[in-house]
Structure 1
Amino acid sequence: MIASALSVRALLLAIFILMAGSGFLSTLIAIRLESAGVPSLIIGLAATSYFTGLTLGSLRAELLIARIGHIRAFAAFVTVFSASSLAYAILELPTIWIVLRFIDGFAMAGVFVCLESWLNRQATPTNRSTVLAAYMIALYCGQAGGQFLLNLGQDAPDLPFMISAVLLSIALLPVLLTRMEQPQIEAITPFSIRKLYAASPLGIIGTLANGAMLGAFYAMGAVYVQRIGMGLAQVALFTSCVIAGGVALQYPLGRLSDRFDRRRVIIACFAITAAVSAAIAALELPAIGTIAIGSVFGGFAFALYPLCVAHSNDHLDEDQRVGASSGLVLTYSVGAMAGPMIGSSAMSAFGPAGLFAVIGALSAGAALFGIWRTVRRAAVPTGEQQLFQSLPRTTPMVAVLEAEDMGEDS
């Protein structure tokens, strides 16, 4: 594994630094808007703007990359993102911040497309799983670790934005100095919603619901923690533990789904997420209890997307998986765009508890849909299920790396 990771170390270092410098911005911006007395709906709109930019960028960024090459495109996207991070400290207006979040999302999508297509070019049939695993570790470790940069803003409000810009600029170096050959962008045609639903109803409904759940959490989770009386350091720890919990349980739950009817594992994850969300909404826990139960929430909620992708692939031929997996990434993104507005509306109507109440309702609804599907359709025999592959929810380009890997494992 070490040798495989070292072969793409420049790309892994770049994504780690990028996520450390950008992964905490959504939390920071939500906290700052909340502190300024901005309504919940505006905070949700800022998050929706980011996910909209991320979705559009994942569809359009490849045109620029194909025209000027990966290194130049990567430099352009990161430079724009770095400038945007500094602009938050200069232009402290909610309307401007909503526009900046869209720019952030579009730039981040361009970065993901660059790195993921490059990783696909460097991966071989023997190390593809290892490369994908190393990419996920670098991505989520950077995102979880970056949350603690929130603490730097207690005495100097502009400092976190400056540090974000510095880290994003430093992330350019591994890519600009690399001697790896630049790949060609692979054209991907996602499945239509109709085809995705026909192939795997639970796969697409589960992915859509999971996108809405996590979109709501990323948008309003930090606001919830602040409104129940926790400080900035505890906000950072809570968010980091949710992400860490999500990484920790993906592989064990995935392997469990390889041994049993995968739908039952998906239903159980949705049901447990609903129960945990209900507990968070209903109980007045001490700070350590909220952080602990938050990690359990992350463990099951974050595992749902790769489980739904794996379930969809169980019903597809090998040559259909790239289009289906990329279509599921876009389906997740649609859910993520809607989630912040759903979560912020619930908090406006019902107070802080409304966030996890609506996340729990979405999760419970998906679990009931899954139960209905087990009645309507026979299970795929466990021996014919494709092996689970843990994967990030980034852009359709990661579907090439993931789907080819599953094809080689099957």
Structure 2
Amino acid sequence: MTRMVTSLSALILSIVLLVSGNAFLMTLLGVRLSIESVSADIIGWILVCYSIGFVLGTLYVHRIISRVGHIRTFAAFAAMAAVCSLLYPMAVSEPLWAILRGLSGFSAASVLVVIESWFSARATNANRGTLFAIYQIVFYTSVAGGQLLINVGEPSSFVPFSLAAVLLAIALIPLALTRMEAPEVGPIERLSFFTLARESFTGVSGALICGVLIGSFYALGPVYATLAGLEVSRVSTFMASAIVAAMVFAWPLGLLCDRFDRRRVMFWVAMTAAVASGLVVVFGAERLWLLTLLVAIFTGLSATLYPIAVAITNDRMASNRIVAASATLLLSYGVGSVIGPIVMAQLLAFLGPDGLFMGNAAFLVLLALATSYRIASTEDVAVADQEHFVPAMPESSTALVEIDPRNEAFHEAQETPTSEQPGTPSERAS
């Protein structure tokens, strides 16, 4: 494992710099817009442009990579992200910031596709699980660490924006100097939403609503904290603890998913997260420790909805369709991350800070009701027939889908096309 980490050190260092700088900037923008007294609904429209750009980036960046190569693509979009960071404090203009957020989202998706393509190219059936775990640990640790940088300089000054730009620009150096051979760019296969929903409605809806919840929290969590009266130093702790919880909750939930029917696990996860979200509304920000705990429970459980949705879907897919189904679920999450900030921003504008968590609770109850209906009306997959649970990441590109350890059978089938494809599609709809 040490040798593997060493060989990927340039990639890992670039990930740390890029992800921490990007996460820091997302929180910084929410705080700065609140300081500028921009209304919550306008903030939502500005920040959702990042998700729109990100979704478009995952769809179209492969065409750019096929024309100019991985390193040129990485250099171009890392530089674009850094330039956007420098432009924010030059003019606090709502239309300009919306455009910059869209460009930042497209840039972030592009550089992640490049990095994750390299990870995918190094994956074999022997190291797939290890690579997947390394990437997740590095990614979530960097996101959480990026939140703590909000304490460097006043958000109303240019200093924190310059720091974010420095991190994004320095990320160019390790990967630009790497001697690793660039991976080949392959076509991305997807199942249509309607096809996948017919076979796994619970999986598609779980991924979509997870995108709504996590997308809105990343965008509007700092706005909520500011409106609730938290100091800037507390906002960083508030956001970091929620993101760490998303990583911590994945493992115990995985154990439950391997021992019980996964749709029932999803139901109870949604209901528990809804209760935590409702309690945030009841207690507010009067006790910081209680607010942090409840938000961590809500965020940690909400983030597990995506890997549970992937697991539910994969249980019903033939092995040669798993990658295509996972790519569609990732797109479903992206669509949800566009819907979430828009809807929640409107609730913030009409109901104040509590609107964010009232909306969260409503979406979670809706998911629980839909899951309960499917449990009652369709047949379960036996626990013994379920695939092994893997804590899949939604904040990634389709390139990372291919190093999911559950795809070992898929890659074996690709390597030996004359052999019989393992797995059979289930006729049961979830």
8 Å contact kept, 1:386–1:406 = no
8 Å contact kept, 1:244–1:298 = no
Paired with 2:128 and 2:2, the residues of 1 have a C-alpha distance of 13
Partner of 2:166: 166
Partner of 1:385: 386
Partner of 1:397: 399
Once the two structures are TM-superposed, the CA of residue 188 in structure 1 deviates from its matched residue by 1.1
8 Å contact kept, 1:12–1:134 = no
SS at match of 2:398: coil
More displaced stretch, 210-219 vs 146-155: 146-155
**Alignment-mate amino acid for residue 407 of structure 2:** E
Once the two structures are TM-superposed, the CA of residue 153 in structure 1 deviates from its matched residue by 2.8
**Alignment-mate amino acid for residue 398 of structure 1:** L
Partner of 2:335: 334
Paired with 1:8 and 1:316, the residues of 2 have a C-alpha distance of 32
Paired with 1:406 and 1:231, the residues of 2 have a C-alpha distance of 50
Paired with 1:399 and 1:156, the residues of 2 have a C-alpha distance of 39
8 Å contact kept, 2:214–2:299 = no
| Alpha-carbon spacing, 1:261–1:386, altered in 2? closer, same or farther (3 Å) | same
SS at match of 2:392: coil
Paired with 1:220 and 1:31, the residues of 2 have a C-alpha distance of 9
**Alignment-mate amino acid for residue 253 of structure 2:** L
Partner of 1:68: 68
The reply to whether residue 6 of structure 1 matches residue 9 of structure 2 is: no
Q: Deviations over 1:73-128 (max 9, x none)?
A: 11111011111110112122121111000000000010111011111101111111
| Alpha-carbon spacing, 1:210–1:329, altered in 2? closer, same or farther (3 Å) | same
Paired with 1:98 and 1:152, the residues of 2 have a C-alpha distance of 24
Residues 5-404 of structure 1 aligned to structure 2 (within 5 Å): 5-154=5-154, 157-284=157-284, 285-393=286-394, 394-402=396-404, 404=407
8 Å contact kept, 2:283–2:291 = no
More displaced stretch, 309-318 vs 156-165: 156-165
**Alignment-mate amino acid for residue 303 of structure 1:** T
SS at match of 1:270: helix
Once the two structures are TM-superposed, the CA of residue 137 in structure 1 deviates from its matched residue by 1.0
8 Å contact kept, 2:118–2:183 = yes
Corresponding pairs, count? 410
More displaced stretch, 272-281 vs 8-17: 8-17
Paired with 1:397 and 1:64, the residues of 2 have a C-alpha distance of 15
8 Å contact kept, 1:330–1:395 = no
| Alpha-carbon spacing, 1:61–1:306, altered in 2? closer, same or farther (3 Å) | same
More displaced stretch, 33-42 vs 288-297: 288-297
SS at match of 2:52: helix
Once the two structures are TM-superposed, the CA of residue 391 in structure 1 deviates from its matched residue by 2.2
**Alignment-mate amino acid for residue 349 of structure 2:** S
SS at match of 2:403: helix
**Alignment-mate amino acid for residue 362 of structure 2:** A
**Alignment-mate amino acid for residue 50 of structure 2:** Y
Q: Deviations over 1:292-312 (max 9, x none)?
A: 222212221111111101110
Paired with 1:240 and 1:36, the residues of 2 have a C-alpha distance of 23
8 Å contact kept, 1:217–1:343 = no
8 Å contact kept, 2:47–2:341 = yes
TM-score computed with the length of structure 1 as normaliser:
0.97
8 Å contact kept, 2:51–2:334 = yes
Paired with 1:328 and 1:190, the residues of 2 have a C-alpha distance of 9
More displaced stretch, 267-276 vs 86-95: 86-95
8 Å contact kept, 2:266–2:305 = yes
| Alpha-carbon spacing, 1:155–1:47, altered in 2? closer, same or farther (3 Å) | closer
More displaced stretch, 295-304 vs 94-103: 295-304
Structure 2 segments unaligned to the other structure (5+ residues): 413-422, 424-430
Once the two structures are TM-superposed, the CA of residue 155 in structure 1 deviates from its matched residue by 7.6
Structure 1 segments unaligned to the other structure (5+ residues): none
SS at match of 1:391: coil
Once the two structures are TM-superposed, the CA of residue 169 in structure 1 deviates from its matched residue by 1.2
8 Å contact kept, 1:207–1:305 = yes
Once the two structures are TM-superposed, the CA of residue 316 in structure 1 deviates from its matched residue by 0.2
Paired with 2:118 and 2:6, the residues of 1 have a C-alpha distance of 14
